[in-house]
Amino acid sequence: MTLDERDIDRVIEMAWEDRTPFEAITFQFGLKEQDVIELMLREMKPSSFKMWRERVQGRATKHKNKRTFDKGRFKCSRQRTITNNSISKR
């Protein structure tokens, strides 16, 4: 599969996000975890790649099966609720 520059940028962005699992990247772009690792290695500076690998390795939120929550998306308790296009106050 060949990705254009915009898709590569999005994959890198998703890979850096703590709460985006590799399964989401696979679903959206068809890249397995190993493919993402190879893409990151190819597209990033060696020091940035090393920092990313240290950050991602062992992080439960990057793997759907290791997450502590099952359904829906994670929501911080401090995040405001949005209803009917207005943001509710605490």
Per residue of the chain (90 residues), give pLDDT as tens: 688 999 999 999 999 988 888 888 999 999 999 999 999 999 999 999 999 998 888 776 666 665 555 555 555 555 555 555 555 555
Q: Can you give the pLDDT at residue 6?
A: 93
Q: Name the one residue in this structure whose structure tokens are 């959206």.
A: 28
Q: Which tokens go with 11?
A: 């994959």
Selection from 37, 7, 2 nearest residue 22 by Cα: 37
CA dist., res. 27 & res. 14, Å (int)? 12
Q: Can you give the pLDDT at residue 17?
A: 87
Selection from 43, 35, 61, 46 nearest residue 25 by Cα: 35
